[in-house]
C-alpha cells in the first residue's frame, strides 16, 4: 500500500498543478488552444498522471472502479507517443471534466488508505 499512497499523492499533486495552470492561464478553451505553453504544461501533467496510474496496484484500481484508470493510461500513451497528432480539444475536455473528479476520488482513496 505504501507505493499506492505515493502514486496517489503524485496524482493529486499533478491535478493541483493543472488547476494552478488553469487559474494562471484562464479557464477558456480558446486561450488553451491558442497558447502552446499552456497546452504543453497541461499535457505533460496529464502524462504524469497516467504514468503514476500505471503503477497502481490492481487492488486499488479494482476497488475504485469509478475512475477509468485505463483511460488515464491511454491518455498518457497518446500524449507521450502522439507527438504532433494530439487532439488538444480532448486534452481540454480531460482537464475540465476528468481532473476534478479524479482529484476528489484520489483524496478519498488517501483518506481510506490511511485509516
Residue 7 appears among annotated catalytic residues: no
d(Cα 94, Cα 88) in Å, to the nearest integer?
10
Q: Angle at the Cα of 102 (from 41 to 40), degrees rounded to 5?
A: 10
Residue of 94, 40, 48 whose CA lies nearest to 71: 94
Q: Do 78 and 49 contact (CB within 8 A), yes or no?
A: no
Catalytic (active site) residue 39: no
- Please give the Cα distance from 40 to 4 (Å, whole number): 27
Catalytic residue chosen out of the listed positions 7, 39, 63, 81? 81
Among 13, 39, 63, 76, the active-site one is 76
Active site residues: 76, 81
Amino acid at each position: 500500500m505504501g507505493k499506492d499512497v505515493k502514486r496517489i499523492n503524485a496524482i493529486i499533486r499533478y491535478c493541483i498543478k493543472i488547476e494552478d495552470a488553469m487559474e494562471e492561464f484562464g479557464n477558456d478553451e480558446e486561450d488553451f488552444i491558442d497558447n502552446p505553453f499552456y497546452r504543453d504544461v497541461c499535457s505533460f501533467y496529464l502524462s504524469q498522471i497516467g504514468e503514476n496510474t500505471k503503477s497502481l496496484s490492481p487492488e486499488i484500481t479494482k476497488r475504485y472502479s469509478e475512475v477509468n484508470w485505463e483511460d488515464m493510461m491511454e491518455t498518457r500513451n497518446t500524449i507521450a507517443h502522439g507527438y504532433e497528432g494530439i487532439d488538444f480539444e480532448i486534452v481540454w475536455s480531460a482537464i475540465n471534466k476528468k481532473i476534478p473528479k479524479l482529484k476528489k476520488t484520489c483524496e478519498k482513496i488517501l483518506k481510506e488508505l490511511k485509516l
